[in-house]
């Protein structure tokens, strides 16, 4: 597979202060999927039962809303409430959440579930459906079988919804283990079921690529993703662009966020959303060490310092051509 990767990143000036998180509670805010409703932002993040946080503005203040999933009773396919990377949007079914959780009889691997909240409150509980939406091999009645994944016994994580300019709905996700791949499946209009053909692979990497986010900009499709190991400062955010939503394998991979370029330890798990002022905001997580809000250093990570992931936010733009991601000031 031919691929050109651009890894030129301008380091921060030595005197530049690292951005501060907009939210850094005692628990981690990891893999944020951010949804805006009226004047508020809701961040759905990795944690037991899917953590929900609400911000009056992107810059905060932010507050914990509790767990997002109603797991009483827990769906039969789930082995635990250890939910990763939930994400939410609104459809004709109501508010719909996608999440990954360990599946029973699957060697610790994960499937992707769907849950619905029929209230008007994004902080209210979402009730999962009985069967997963994406589960390799059709385990537990999973609708998308994930054919042709790189590792035969790999699960799936990091669900991310996408709607094109015609209103067609899709779900992106990652296949676990390495090599890893990013895939996409078309959904029904209400976003709760698989529709049409099997999911397709967008691209594959020998190492780690995950946390896909797809945005259509005119005739172009821009794919954001995280690269390298999530548990240290090497984690980074990249982007690719293609005129075909289904094909990114030959697209140039550009680096968007690194520790050297931002001062944030492992800037990844990025999500973008329209802001209140008509522009865009970028949300991501990074590692902070100790009980404060200072970004971890690589040596702290290597030496096993106590750490957790915090939420950062920045002004986001699309460049002069309207389709080139750019990160402005951190909030």
pLDDT digits (tens, 9 = 90+) for 66-111: 999 999 999 999 999 999 999 999 999 999 999 999 999 999 999 9
Q: In total, how many domains does the chain have? A: 2
Q: Does a structural domain hold residue 23? A: no
190 and 49 in a common domain: yes
Is there a single domain that holds both residue 47 and residue 126?
yes
Q: Is 212 found in the same domain as 129?
A: no
pLDDT in tens, 103-157: 999 999 999 999 999 999 999 999 999 999 999 999 999 999 999 999 999 999 9
Q: Are residues 107 and 223 in the same domain?
A: no
Please tell me which residue, 193 or 37, carries the higher pLDDT value.
Answer: 193
Same domain (yes/no): 230, 198: no
Domain closes at, from 159, 176, 205: 205
83, 126 contact by CB (below 8 A): no
Query: 194 and 61: one domain?
Result: yes
**Domain-embedded: residue 24:** no
Claim to verify: residue 185 and residue 43 sit in the same structural domain? yes
| 81 and 46 co-located in one domain | yes
Question: Which CATH number does the domain housing residue 90 bear?
Answer: 2.115.10.20
The Cα-based distances of 132 to 48, 113, 136, 199, 201 in angstroms read 18, 4, 10, 15, 19
Q: Give the structural domain span for 102.
A: 35-205
Q: 205, 231, 255: which is the final residue of a domain? A: 205
Q: Rounded CA gap, 82 and 105, in Å?
A: 16
Q: Maximum CA pair distance of the chain?
A: 55
The answer to whether residue 6 is domain-embedded is no
How buried is residue 31: exposed, middle or buried, by Cβ count under 10 Å (0-12/13-18/19+)?
Answer: buried
Is residue 71 a part of any domain in this protein? yes
| Burial (CB count <10 Å: 0-12, 13-18, 19+), residue 83 | buried
Give the three-class secondary structure for 204.
strand
Q: What is the pLDDT of residues 258-316, one digit of tens each?
A: 999 999 999 999 999 998 888 999 999 999 999 999 999 999 999 999 999 999 999 99
Quick one: 139 and 287 in the same domain?
no
Q: Of 205, 221, 239, which residue is a domain's last?
A: 205
What residues pair up with 34 in beta bridges, in sequence order? 43
Global pTM value: 0.94
**Residue 157 included in any domain:** yes
């Amino acid at each position: 597979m031919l691929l050109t990767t651009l890894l030129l990143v301008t380091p921060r000036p030595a005197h530049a202060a690292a951005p501060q998180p907009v939210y850094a509670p005692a628990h981690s805010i990891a893999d944020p999927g951010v949804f805006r409703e009226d004047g508020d932002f809701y961040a759905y993040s990795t944690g037991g039962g899917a953590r929900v946080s609400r911000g009056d503005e992107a810059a905060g203040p932010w507050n914990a809303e509790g767990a997002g999933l109603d797991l009483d009773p827990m769906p039969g396919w789930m082995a635990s409430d250890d939910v990763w990377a939930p994400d939410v949007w609104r459809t004709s079914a109501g508010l719909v959440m996608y999440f990954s959780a360990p599946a029973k009889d699957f060697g610790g691997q994960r499937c992707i579930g769907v849950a619905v909240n029929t209230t008007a409150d994004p902080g209210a509980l979402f009730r999962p459906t009985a069967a997963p939406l994406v589960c390799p091999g059709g385990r537990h009645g999973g609708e998308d079988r994930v054919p042709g994944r790189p590792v035969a016994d790999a699960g799936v994580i990091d669900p991310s919804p996408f709607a094109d300019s015609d209103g067609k709905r899709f779900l992106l996700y990652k296949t676990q283990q390495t090599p890893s791949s990013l895939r996409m499946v078309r959904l029904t209009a209400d976003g709760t079921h698989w529709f049409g053909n099997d999911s397709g692979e967008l691209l594959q990497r020998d190492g780690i690529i995950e946390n896909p986010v797809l945005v259509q900009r005119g005739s172009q499709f821009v794919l954001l993703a995280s690269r390298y190991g999530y548990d240290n400062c090497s984690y980074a955010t990249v982007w690719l662009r293609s005129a075909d939503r289904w094909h990114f394998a030959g697209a140039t991979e550009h680096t968007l966020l690194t520790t050297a370029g931002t001062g944030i330890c492992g800037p990844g798990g990025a999500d973008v959303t329209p802001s209140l002022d008509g522009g865009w905001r970028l949300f991501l997580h990074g590692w902070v060490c100790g009980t404060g809000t200072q970004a971890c250093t690589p040596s702290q990570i290597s030496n096993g310092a106590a750490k957790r992931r915090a939420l950062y936010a920045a002004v986001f733009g699309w460049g002069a051509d309207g389709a080139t991601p750019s990160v402005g000031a951190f909030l």
